[in-house]
Amino acid sequence: MKSDHPGGWNVKIKLCASFFLALALVLCATFASAETARVVTPGGKLNMRKADNEKSKIVTDVPNKALVEVEEVGDVWSKITYKKKTGYVKTSFLKMASQLVGKRVYADEGTLYLLTEPDASAAIAAPVGCQHPVTVISVEGDWAKVSCGETTGYVESSRFSYQLEQPNGKADWISEPAVVAADCVMRLRKDVSSDAVATLTPGQAVIVTVIDGDSCLVIAESGCGYAPIGSIRLNGTEDGTAATAAVTAAQTALKKNFKAFAKEKLYEQVETIEGIDGIGDPLYKCGFYNEKDQYVYAALVDQASGNVVFTASYASFAEPLSQSALLKEGDAEIEISADSLAVGEVLDITVRAWTNYQCQYSLTCNGRQMAGGTAGRHFTASFRPKEAGAYQLAVTVRDEGGQAATLTRDFTVSAQETVESGENVYSQKDGWWDAVAYRKSTMEHSGCAIFALSHALHRMGVTGENTLPQALCKTYALCLTPEGTNNERLITTAGKDFGFKTQRQLIDNEKEIKKLLQAGNLFSFSVARGHIAMISGLSEDGSMVRVVDSAPSATFDRIVNASLYYQMRSGSFRAALSLDDIPGSRWFIDTEDYGGLEYWLPLSYAAKRGVRLIQPQ
């Protein structure tokens, strides 16, 4: 004789307290319900009978996991409709959302879209990943009212038909910080004919949560909806500690899921993020970048198991956004590195505005004008004060149409003397050295070779006041000639005084230079006509040398048949179109020139110029 489950299982469903209360109120009688339920058996099909008893004729069998319409619910038997046939099945084999009121559960699979109203055409209040639980507040017909954190919304009740109290499946979502790169319409659905939720403008901060073809679901202050990927720029991941095994696992998964992954030269950054319910805690987030520093792929790896739980391609997103697009038209703001500093310390200034067309600085100390240059495109600047007092910085930003905004910031400078460290890149053009005499000239005008020597001494671990530029220029004043510093005499004499080895003949062999740099030696050399700098290291691939330059604008303006390079996060090198491209560059408002800087040059260029050895004992 057939049982009401072909496998003969006697399964009792555990109903929540609210459901028992509902049953008690109707004295275990049946009640009307227009609810969708899922058939869940231990295996096999479920018998549908003509009446609510085991001896009644079987009308049909219902496949396991099938969705059915529940007409009446009883404590033992329920009346259902499946494929236009109506009959009775055991209630214990039905999973209904009404049983979940007050429970914390997960969606069956995929991302939940919490809608603002119980209507499929309503706006999306928020997306919820399948690994994040929601609390069921109430169930009415085909809709369940749920909450996730502070967000409340409606989802189709059939999404909870398995009544999962633990998450199921892999992560199907992302949560990437991004900004709007171009004017676009955020729509209710990905269809371009869908209703508009809001208009997004450049600079708006958003969170990208789902990628769907050439559209992505974003969360903005104005709501949640779909926007074209080409109008959104990801901010990317942050620097983190590399985890070799996680990166390897991520690469394997990404190669499998995205054919283009293996075709690009990519590099990774890894950070630890908070885990996801049911997946792992914590996770490695492995972000992969191309040579343009675009964030193009990502993977989440469970730190405990090493399993990859999520992969995504961001290759269609636009490149990083400039700061000038982050503010609304006519808005600007100033950020300074300190409200108070000492004489000799450096104040760094960042100006953010709706435009990057023009920026002009004006600086006063105790009401006296200290600096005020011509307008330019330096939206980051620096200042090294030489006297104490109350300062006021005024910045005027102007766009191409003439619209302007002026902002001011106050700061104070104390008379406390700063202790200079030779580990720093001395900035020959930072306004500090114009009154420091170097024979009949000044350190600002003629001190490049002295700065290069000071750099070298401190990198060799030689310290003391006699190694600082202001002391060296007095000790070796006779090395300055009308044509500039005699660098051979300077390095030879200093080598005897400070105990390092050198040689009179310049070295111009690439292999020899490379070998000496790998052994920890340094070089002083004429980086450009009439300008001396120092070489402090070699790139990993051996093709580039690292240069420490006290006055980089002199090199940039005079260098012939070569370029200054900076190293990208990928490890590749890119020629600087301006000194602003090079990380660490500082443009000083009082001199309107660049301070000391480190950058890269081709080894072949240094060999052609010839380099002067500085070899620690």
Angle, vertex CA 83, rays to CA 81 and CA 86, nearest 5:
30
d(CA 550, CA 545): 16
How far apart are the C-alpha atoms of 293 and 581, rounded to whole Å? 13
Those residues whose C-beta lies under 8 Å from the C-beta of residue 45, and which sit 6 or more positions away, are 6, 61, 62, 63, 64
Q: How far apart are CA 555 and CA 448, in angstroms?
A: 11
- CA-to-CA distance for 180 and 185, rounded, in angstroms? 11
- Give the pLDDT of residue 419: 54
pLDDT on residue 323: 64
DSSP for 283-320, please give it. EEEEEEE-TT--EEEEEEEETTT--EEEEEE-TTSBPP
pLDDT the model gives residue 350: 94
Which residues of the chain fall below pLDDT 70?
Answer: 1-34, 169, 237-241, 278-280, 320-326, 417-425, 569-570
Cα–Cα distance, 498 to 462 (Å, whole number): 8
Backbone φ/ψ region at 83: left (φ over 0), alpha (ψ -120 to 50), beta: left
Q: How far apart are CA 361 and CA 382, in angstroms?
A: 11
Q: pLDDT tens digits for 451-482?
A: 999 999 999 999 889 999 999 999 999 999 99
pTM for the whole structure:
0.61
Question: Which amino acid is located at 297 in the chain?
Answer: Y
Amino acid 141: pLDDT: 80
Cα–Cα separations (whole angstroms), residue 593 to 382, 579, 586: 10, 10, 8
Looking at this protein, which amino acid is placed at residue 512? E
DSSP state of 229: G
Pair 390, 409: CB distance under 8 Å: no
Give CA–CA dist 307/309, Å, rounded: 6
pLDDT at 32: 45
**CB distance 225 to 210 below 8 Å:** no
Measure the CA–CA gap between 228 and 211, rounded to whole angstroms: 10
Answer whether 100's CB lies under 8 Å from 144's CB.
yes
Question: 384, 345 in Cβ contact below 8 A?
Answer: yes
